[in-house]
Each structure stands twice: as structure tokens, then as C-alpha cells.
Amino acid sequence: MDFLTYFVNGLSLGSIYAIIALGYTMVYGIAKMLNFAHGDVLMIGSYITFVFMSQMGINPIISVLLAAICCTFIGVIIERIAYKPLRGANSLAVLITAIGVSYFLQNIALLIFGANTKSFKSIVTIPPLKLFGGQLIISSESIVTITLCIVIMLALTTFINKTKMGQAMLAVSEDRSASTLMGINVNGTIAMTFAIGSFLAAFAGVLLCSAYPTLTPTTGAMPGIKAFVAAVIGGIGSIPGAFIGGLILGVLENLSKAYISAQLSDAIVFSVLIIMLLVKPSGILGKSNIEKV
Amino acid sequence: MKKLLSVLLALTLATTLFACGQKQATNTTAETTAAATEAPQVFKVGGIGPITGGAAVYGQAVQNGIKIAIDEINANGGFNGYQVEYHFADDEHDAEKAVNAYNSLKDWGMQLLIGTTTSSPCLAVADKTVADNMFQITPSGSAVDCTANPNVFRMCFSDPDQGIASAQYIDSHNLAKKVGIIYDASDVYSTGIYEKFVQEAAGKNFEVVAEEQFTADSKTDFTTQLTKLKAANADLVFLPFYYSEAALVLNQAKQMGYAPTFFGCDGMDGILTLENFDKSLAEGLMLLTPFSADATDDLTVNFVGEYQKRHGEIPNQFAADSYDCAYALKLAIEKANVTPASSVSDICNAVKSAMTSITLKGLTGDSISWKSNGEPNKTPKAVVIKDGAYVLAN
Amino acid sequence: MDYFKLKRQKKARYNLSIYLMIVIAYAIVMFLSYQGKISSLLNGLLVPFCTYSILAVSLNLVVGISGELSLGHAGFMCVGAFTSAVFTRYMKFLGVEGLYLFIIAILIGAVTAGFAGLLIGIPVLRLKGDYLAIVTLAFGEIIKNIANAIYLGFDENGAHFSLKNTMALGLSDKGFVVIKGAQGITGTPHYSSFTAGVILLIIVVTIILNLVNSRTGRNIKALRDNLIAAESVGISATKYKLIAFTIASSMAGVAGVLYAHNLTTLTALPKNFGYNMSITILVFVVLGGMGRIRGSIIAAVVLTLLPEMLRGLSDFRMLIYSIVLIVVMIFTSAPAMKQYMEVLKNKFPIIKNLKAVTLKKFSKEGE
């Protein structure tokens, strides 16, 4: 029974990683850049929800939606100011700019909201689910997180496959210059990708802070890195890959914490990542690129 | 030609850089010499702590706590009749940055140091202050070695003392039969308390049934650790770490339907003032702390009121410890009757010997005195949370 | 003069300029500190300058010259720092102290970190680009995680090791704990000095310059510029990339030794040995110019100094730092900016010369 508890908690944590990883993987697939600031957009989203919900007393659902809209704008603005001028530049230059943006967001949050930990009120109010006569308790946050993660994944896949914008994204990720020739607005498509990624980040932030209700300016940093790892395990650029990678990472982390060593759980997770990449360098669902002369 | 030019540029860059540093140096020396001719009329007190990055909450509290104390002291005539100037430098919770911060304060002309806030930077800085023979009092550097040098004193309890005190308290009050521990294995403070607690627990009337860890990189999900403690039937859970993580532990324990007695140390103080925290979660939580923000004595009420007025938050024990540090300096300086005209080293020697003969009535103790090894003599109060407020436990 | 001779001369002049820069900077600092005109802050920063310069130069060997993106450089620094500090701390406990121990410590740091680099490099260098980046990042985190978990002590029965706590070491009364888990190592002897740092930096620079200008170095650069073409003429990718990676790791280990013996306390925090540090070093390399040794040193010094110079801004310090980072990257790397500079250059010939100096430093092209 303990095993099931660890497993379900792992799934719940993994779902959050998965939602964050979706943002990473889409941006990587389309703009070919590692957006290290993604975890910090998540943190900003949580703070905005916190302000709307706890300080202004707005309904939780509306607060989350408002925060998601704010995050969308923030994501697009970041892309416009910091990343767009560097399109076509060395990928390392973009990586470092993203790190600069990440520091910037953390420090601006520190200045505005202070360093003190804020206690985040869960947006989920339904009671936990008790199974097997109370032996297995699944928290309501876990249920909502896992459900929402699946919904988001399905919606995103439909969006990519069924809409014109989605097809444009696929085309840009396949070949940027060819899609320009085909009349696709590449800049608009990339901006759209950032908008979607940041929108999802706000949700991930709220779910993260509902399940683990504290909020500081560095809340997004470590989940951001782990979600990135999840995206790589699943195969970066692939949406179902991000989902699977997130779940694997979450479960693995919780099980190694439970059965091997809590202190070394991160080391174990990262070792698995290394082994995994050595066996299948493109990730579980990633496409392997054949080097052409 | 281009190459030559680039060499030249590099050189000018290098020289301007060093010239910058040099200018700063000459400026400060000029200041001090100018000041020396007319005898400086102010004491210069420095503070160090992390005010950016992950540990910023502690450094900011210390910065604000000292500021309030110094403002009060200045309004009432300063140290021994001399006004006090105060500067605070950021160390980002990093030993190397802390040494940089210390050096920049030295350039400013610091004579006495209140700092640093966290243990590992404190050790690095203590190594430098002993070389300069500058008096140092740390509000919250709790690792044993922090006060190893004769010029360093501390305001908080040392980690081992807290571990021992907690084990003894649980034993003498028959709080539990089976004790489980969760601690932060990547944190100096937490591991320090944990180790001494486990050592002290041997031969006591309770048994340590589970020792679970977490690290700074995974400090959000405690369900695994709690599940294990629950399986081990621990009826008391010892939480030797800070309140922000403890709030998560309490929350997740409640979700699991696990309700042992929770027992914390001074880092737990602050849990009730966590913005938006559901206080019912902390019902029955016990902690050993020298300071509680809702005590009703005048000193605490004034300090908490002033802190709230300035910063809109309730102060935690870091703020209280650092506030007391400034007053300890005042007492020791007045006892030793030193003036700002003395050299840093002379001030240090005088203050050092005066420290052991003063008794401070402060926020964190009614009569705090110091041993010559730099350790404070004060008793922690055991408090329990009832109806969302601290109540003294008997 | 024939083409190759000209090129060789150019190279020799560039190499000389690096040594000159270091030596002149050293002479100025020594002169000033002899006169007592150097500020405490700058004095305290001298050893970090050397540490970060060595780190930047060695990472440049991997990123700039070998063309592999590594985000785990701080991990090798961590290996060097901890192994060497264990040695000197234990020697101090035995009552042995002396500068010759520092030389042994440097060798220990270099060898262990180099060995770690070799061990990691063999499987990992098969990966490319961002995958290599993520694996090296993961490796750096693993090292930090393990360094935080180790308890190591010595007594008359030899070394005791545990991943649990001090008590689990089972030391006798005469025993002594060197690494106390998260509390790290305290009381490391203070051996690092600016002179030692400068000597190490010169050695590191010499090794790299010799490597770059050797047959091995040309092979490494050929692999970077066109992997398939280079392999087709019989250059072994694994071998040469591994050489570069191992040498760079071992140099990072030396920087770690310098770091560990500059402070009395050594703990593995995210700040000093986590991915934050690896990224900071990468920033030095990219801002200094890929493959440009001199640029790396200048960038390391300037960017170490910058946050200290911003201290007057207190609360806004790190915010300003991040803005500077973004703005500098946009100004030096954005294609539009480069075009604009090109236009300016044609309008004002004087800028042409200046540009040659400044932009070269930041340009992405290597040697």
C-alpha cells in the first residue's frame, strides 16, 4: 500500500513536471532554443494568482485565468524584447540571454514581493479521495493535477494537428526557411509558441503551489530544471514525449526517495537521465537526426 | 596593427580597472586620515547577509532588525554618546561573496561587524576578522565553529545546544515514545541539530524510530518521508529546520491524515506569521524558541510594531536576534568606554572583554550573558501553538 | 613574406599579448599593494580573479575550441576542491603544514578532476549539442549532491566513510571527521595567494596555447568545424574530443584547489558548485569570445568585478546585473546589431579600427 502511495504522489508531481515540460519542448521544437526562464515565468504566474486570489479576494478560477493571461503577455514581451533580436545568432548567445531573463524575473519578484515565503492557498477545495478503507489517500490536488495534465496534453495535440496555427508550428519546427517561403509568418508563429508555453506555465505554477503551498522568488528554478530534464527524457520537441518524460521523472524521484535515499534522489534521477540518453540519445519519443554531409 | 591595438585596449582596460580599485582605496584612506585628524565622531557598524537569492529571507530580516535597533540607539544618543552609521552588504549565502562583502565594508571604514547571517559564510568571514582583529557578533550563525575565534560572539544558540535541549525536553516531559525525524541533509543548521539530537537521544525514555532526509533541491514534496514515519508509528515528529518548509510538512501530513505531535527548533518560529498560512495546521505544534513575536512585554510589542510599520511583515527570530546584537554592542561599548577614535583592533579588544561582563535584557532573553568562548547564556522557551497563538508550555 | 610565416607571426604576437597582459596586470597589482594603495575589496578579489580566469580559459577549450557545450564545469571544480581539501585538511590535522603541500594538493586536484572528466567523457562525448549540455548539467548536479552526502573521517584504523551521519563513521576517540556532510570541510589551510594564482593561470594558458597550436589542437578544431569531413580523413572524434575534455576538467580541478584554499570553509552549495556556477563560467566564455583565451580572462575579471562594483545599488544590484547581461548579449550577438556596426564602420573609418578590436573579442568565430 505504501508503494501505491509513493506511486500516486509521483504521478502527481510528474504531471506538474509534464505541464512545465510542454512549454520547454514546444519552444525548443519551434524556436530551437532552451528557454531557461520558463521556470521563472511559472513563478511569476503563481505570484500573480496569489495577489488576485489572496490579496484581492477574487474567485480562484478567475484568478488563475487572469494570471494565465498576464503570463501570456509576459511571455510574448520577453520573446519580443530579449529573444527576437537574437534570432539567427549563435545558439549559445540565446541560451545566455535566457539565463539573464531568468535572473531578471527572480530579482524583480524579490523586489516586488519580498523574500518572505508566502503561503499559497490551494485552489482545490474538494476533499481527498480515500481508498481501501483509508489506507490509500489520494489528495484532491493530485486528482486535479493529473486530470488537468491529461486534458492539456490532449487539447494541445488537437490544436497542433487540427488547426492552421498548429500546422504552421509543425512546419516552422521542420524547416524554418522553407515555411517562410510557403507564406507562413514565422515570427508570429514563434510568438504564439511562447504565448502558449507561458499560458501553460501559469497553470503549472498554480498546480505546483497548490500541491506544495509555499511561494518564494526561487520557487520555479528547480522544477524548471527538472521539467527540462523530463522534456529531454521524453524526447525534446515531442508533446507526448514531454508528458511521458514528466511522469517517469516524477515517479522515479518519489520511488528513489522512498526506497533508496532521499538525500541522493536527485543524483539517482540525473544518473538515470544520463544512462537513458546514452542508450537512446534522442529521448523516448524524439526523432533522431541523421547528420547529413 | 589591429593586434597591437587590441593589446593596448586590453591593457587600458586592465589599468583603468585597477586604477578604479586604487582610487577607491585612496579615497577611503583619505577619508580616514581626514577623519583621524579631527577624531571620528561616529561608530561605523557593518552587517552582512544574503539579501538576494534563495536565502534572502534571512538576510533581509537581519538587515531590517539591525536598522531598527540602530535608529532607536541613534535617537537616544548612540553608542557611548557617539552616533552610529550602519551599512549592510549582500553575500548571496556564499562564502566567497561574504568575504567580498566584508572587504567592501572594510573599505567603507567598518569598525564593528554584526554578521554574517548564515553559518558557512560566517566561518569564512570569521577567518578574516580574526586576522584583522575586528569584533564580530553573529546574530544567527549557529554552527559550532563560528565562534571558534576569540573575537567572534554569537546571539543565537549553537546547533548542538538546540539538539541537546530538544532531546532533553522531550524526555523530561514524556512527550513521546517513538520519535521520527525529518531533516534537511543539505543544510548546516539542520544537520547540526539532527546529529546532536540523535546522540543525546540514546538512553532517553523515547526511541528514534525513523530518520528521514530531504535536500534543498527537493524541498517541496514531503509525502514520501511522512509516509515512512507514519509506517514507523512515530508519535512525535522532530523538525529541525525552517518554518517555510515546515509549513509544507504540516500541510501534507494533514492531507495524509497523519497527526503526530510536531516539535521544532528556533527556525520554526515565524510559521504563524507566514502570509496566508492556515493556522489551524499548526495547532499543537511545539517549538523551542528564544523569541515569539506575539509576546506581550513592551520590548517585543514595540519592536514588532515598528517592524510592521516599516516593512509590513511580522519579524522572525533572525530580526530579533540581530536587533539584540546591536544592543549588545551598545552595552559592551559603553561598559568598555571606547570611543570611535580608537583603532579597530583596540575597539575589538575592549569590547571583547566587556562582552563577558554585560547582561542584556533583549527580545530573545530576559538576561543574556556571554561566556568568553562567545556562546550566549540564555534559555529557550518551550511554546505550543494553541488557537493560532503561542502559549508557553509548562 | 609567405602566407604561413605571416600567420605564424600573427599567432605568436597574439600569444605574447596574453602573457604580457597577465604579467603587467600582476606587476601593477604588486606595485600598488607594496605601496598599500590597494583597497581591501580588490585585494580580496585577486585570488577569485585567477580562479575564474582558469575556469573560463579551461571551459573555452571545451566550448570554444572543441565546440562542445558543457554545463557541468563546476562539477569538476567541485571534485578538485574537495579531494585536495581533504588532503590538506588531514595533513593539517596530523600537524603537517607547508607550501609544498599546496603543490601536492594541486596535483591531486588536477588528477582527480581529470580522471572524473575522462570517466564522464568516454560515454558522454558521443552525444551532441544540447544533449551533451543536459548530461553535463546532470553530472554537475550529481557531484554536488554526492559532495553534500559524504561523511569522511580518519582514525588510527584508517579512513571511515559513510553516507548517513558522523556517528555512523564509528570513529575512535582519536578520530577526526574531515567531511561532515552538508557542513563540508572547515579549517582548510589558507595556501592560495595571488602569486600562486597567476603562476597557475600562466601554466594553464601555456598548456592550452601549445595544445591549440599543435597537431592535436588542429585535429580538435577540424572536428569542431566539420565533424564528418574530419572523421573521413581519419581523425578519431572520440579520442580528440576526450583529450580536450579531460584536460579542461583537470584545469577546472586546479581552479577548485585554488578556490578551496582561499576560504576556510568548503561547502557544496548551489551557488558555488551547482549549475549556477557552470552557467556563470559559460557566460565568461561567451562574452569573452569563443576560442579567445585573452577574451575569456578579461571577461572573467570584468564580470567578477561588476557585481562588486554595483554594491552601492544594494537591492537593485542583481537586477542591474541581469539587465546588463541581456543588453550585452543583444548588442554583441544580434544580427541586426552587427549589420548596424558594419554600416557605422564604413561611415567612420576610425570605428573600423575600434570595431576590429572590440567586436573580435565578442565575435562567435574562433581562431
pLDDT tens-digit map of C75-123: 999 999 999 999 999 998 888 888 889 999 999 999 999 999 998 888 8
Q: A113 is in which domain, residue-wise?
A: 2-279
Whichever domain contains A139, its CATH number is 1.10.3470
Which among A100, A263, A281 is the nearest to C329, CB-wise?
A100
* A285 falls within a domain: no
Which among C126, C145, C229 is the nearest to A266, CB-wise?
C145
Strands (E), chain C: 151-155, 158-162, 176-180, 185-186, 265-266
- Let me know whether B54 and B88 are in one domain: yes
| Nearest-neighbour CA in chain A from B205: distance (Å) | 28
* Contact assignment for A262 to B224 by CB distance below 8 Å: yes
Mutate to test the interface with B, among A6, A143, A257 (most CBs of B within 10 A): A257
* Contact assignment for B56 to A110 by CB distance below 8 Å: yes
Question: In the predicted model, is pLDDT for residue B316 greater than 70?
Answer: yes
Rounded to whole angstroms, the Cα distance separating A268 from B166 reads 33
| Nearest-neighbour CA in chain A from C299: distance (Å) | 14
**Which pLDDT tens digit goes with each residue over B107-131?**
999 999 998 898 888 989 998 999 8
- Let me know whether B223 and B117 are in one domain: no
Interface of A with C (CB under 8 A): 28, 34, 82, 85-90, 92-93, 95-97, 99-101, 103-104, 107-108, 110-111, 225, 228-229, 232, 236, 261, 263-264, 266-267, 270-271, 273-274, 277-278, 281-282, 291, 293
Q: Which of A92-96, A156-160, B183-187, C57-61 has the highest mean pLDDT?
A: C57-61
- Asked which of B269, B289, B309 is the last residue of a domain, the reply is B289
- Let me know whether B282 and B338 are in one domain: no
* B356 falls within a domain: yes
* B196 falls within a domain: yes
**Which pLDDT tens digit goes with each residue over C296-319?**
999 999 989 888 888 877 677 778
* Contact assignment for A291 to C227 by CB distance below 8 Å: yes
Q: Give me A91's grid cell.
A: 545558439
Can you name the residues that pair with B49 across neighbouring β-strands? Answer: B90
Q: What is the pLDDT of residue B199?
A: 87
Q: Which residues of chain A have a pLDDT value below 50?
A: 292-293
DSSP string for residues in A164-206: HHHHHHHHHHH-HHHHHHTT--HHHHHHHHHHHHHHHHHHHHH
Question: In the predicted model, is pLDDT for residue B266 greater than 60?
Answer: yes
Name which of B230, B234, B228, B225 is nearest B206 in CA terms: B234
Whichever domain contains B56, its CATH number is 3.40.50.2300
- Let me know whether B335 and B272 are in one domain: no
The count of structural domains within chain A is 1
Question: In the predicted model, is pLDDT for residue B35 greater than 60?
Answer: no
Chain A positions in Cβ-Cβ contact with residue B51 (cut-off 8 Å):
115
* Contact assignment for B22 to C145 by CB distance below 8 Å: no
Q: Which amino acid is at C164?
A: K
Summarize the confidence of residues B128-137 as an average pLDDT.
92
Under the banding of pLDDT at 50, 70 and 90, the label for residue C366 is: very low
Question: Which of B 23-62 lie inside 8 A of A, CB atoms?
Answer: 51-54, 56-57, 59-60
- Let me know whether B283 and B305 are in one domain: no
* A135 falls within a domain: yes
* A13 falls within a domain: yes
- Asked which of B267, B289, B311 is the last residue of a domain, the reply is B289
* A6 falls within a domain: yes
Q: What is the pLDDT of residue C361?
A: 47
Q: B207 is in which domain, residue-wise?
A: 160-289
User: Which residue on chain C is closest to A100 by alpha carbon?
Assistant: C322
* A40 falls within a domain: yes
* Contact assignment for C21 to B10 by CB distance below 8 Å: yes
| Nearest-neighbour CA in chain C from A209: distance (Å) | 22
Q: What is the pLDDT of residue C324?
A: 84
* B177 falls within a domain: yes
Q: What is the pLDDT of residue B203?
A: 83
* B19 falls within a domain: no
Under the banding of pLDDT at 50, 70 and 90, the label for residue C137 is: confident
Chain A touched by B359 (CB under 8 Å) = no
* A287 falls within a domain: no
Question: In the predicted model, is pLDDT for residue B3 greater than 50?
Answer: no
Rounded to whole angstroms, the Cα distance separating A64 from A270 reads 32
- Let me know whether B183 and B272 are in one domain: yes
**Which pLDDT tens digit goes with each residue over C201-225?**
999 999 999 999 899 999 999 998 8
**Which pLDDT tens digit goes with each residue over B36-77?**
445 678 999 999 999 887 788 888 899 999 999 999 999 998
Chain A positions in Cβ-Cβ contact with residue C138 (cut-off 8 Å):
229, 270-271, 273-274
Mutate to test the interface with C, among B26, B51, B103, B344 (most CBs of C within 10 A): B103
Which among C138, C149, C332 is the nearest to A273, CB-wise?
C138
Question: In the predicted model, is pLDDT for residue C255 greater than 70?
Answer: yes
Rounded to whole angstroms, the Cα distance separating C19 from B233 reads 67
* A293 falls within a domain: no
* Contact assignment for B7 to C41 by CB distance below 8 Å: no
User: Which residue on chain A is closest to C320 by alpha carbon?
Assistant: A104
Q: Distance of CA A108 to CAs A27, A102, A105, C321, Å?
A: 23, 10, 5, 12
- Asked which of B231, B255, B289 is the last residue of a domain, the reply is B289
Q: Which residue has the cell 596555447?
A: C209
Q: What does the mean pLDDT of chain B come to?
A: 83
- Let me know whether B187 and B263 are in one domain: yes
Which among A110, A208, A258 is the nearest to B224, CB-wise?
A258
Summarize the confidence of residues C325-346 as an average pLDDT.
79
Q: What is the pLDDT of residue B26?
A: 39
- Let me know whether B365 and B309 are in one domain: yes
Report helix angle A221-234 to A38-50, nearest 10: 130
Which among A86, A95, A104 is the nearest to C319, CB-wise?
A104
Q: What is the pLDDT of residue B38?
A: 56
- Let me know whether B282 and B179 are in one domain: yes
Q: What is the pLDDT of residue A258?
A: 85
Question: In the predicted model, is pLDDT for residue B12 greater than 60?
Answer: no
The count of structural domains within chain B is 2
Q: In the complex, which subunits touch B with 3 or more CB pairs below 8 angstroms? A: A, C
Summarize the confidence of residues C37-48 as an average pLDDT.
89
Q: Is the pTM of this model over 0.90?
A: no
